[in-house]
Structure 1
């Protein structure tokens, strides 16, 4: 019987080298770098994306994840190659055909597809099987607002909705949506799920001024028992 890997802590929205340094030192495993997110507060031009991806890799602790709404698979593949990013998070409503084309263009990439949940209903539910067949490696379960806003919404999924959705697919998954260190007890069953692989946060990793906080990141890693948290004896 194989043991599931320790869950990862992904923190989204880095925009400067200092952000990368704070996250690496505090125990994050992945850093989400936004590109092709129109109007997004953390959206990066390609040159800055590449620079921050290199800075993340240089820490020896952080793996960069390209988070995007882009809808052209060839253009996205070219950006990922130039930036040297192997993990790509499709955070909008790109169809299975997009995933298939991106997989063909980047056979060695790790493709993460967000499944959006609104009011307890997964909007991509009829397409889950097609996403799996197209070459998705991992699903990220996230909530939208009632008016359809996606990404860093702070809206939390109930554990029952997460477990119900996880029963609909066979891939590993991450959990997002308003998660905090204090919310960990609400997800005991999720944390024990054999295909659970980690959490994705943004606001919970920041202080009151909106800057990344080493204490907040370390608290998340401790509460959720993620890969780089080592309990003290």
Structure 2
């Protein structure tokens, strides 16, 4: 994996399948961002056969840095988009874990929705379908997304230290990528056990809880009897 790909901002599309044609068109307008390694996008059509689709969507939604809401009457009418994806998206936005950007693609009464307080794209929240030149609308959206990415990249990542991470471990096992933005260091023992270390030592390193748990599952060797401390 190249450094540019590794440093890409993850982008999640939340949309109704009835708006898939518009999503595909927007994705083409974001091609330059993908080619430059600025973004790595995900949407539900990337789910492979035999995968538990709801778990995969949840995992991708929990790990995305930018969440695009493609707003239309079909989005607002969708129990899954509005009832589940939107709820998680707004929780992550309000906690500072992700940036939610509403994209108004078709005219609909959306101002009183939970995302109504957020700055929408394209310019003046004019629906894409209302523009005389839709390419101009998509260009404006792409420029707005690039600006948001630039702001995210310069924003400092909040650090968190704790003396008891058992609750976080339990949550992590249910949602593997949700806590990847929480910087923490821990002693790693066999059989998936974690033990928090001193606040001073935690402040000296940058290690996400997601990375810590991942290393337990990947590197724990049942033949090794000693305690192994991992910094990464």
Q: Which structure is richer in relative contact order (CA contacts within 8 A, separation 6 or more)?
A: 1
Question: Could you say which structure has the higher helix fraction?
Answer: 2
**Which structure shows the bigger proportion of residues in strand conformation?**
1
TM-score by length of 1: 0.31
> Which structure has the bigger radius of gyration?
2
TM-score by length of 2: 0.32
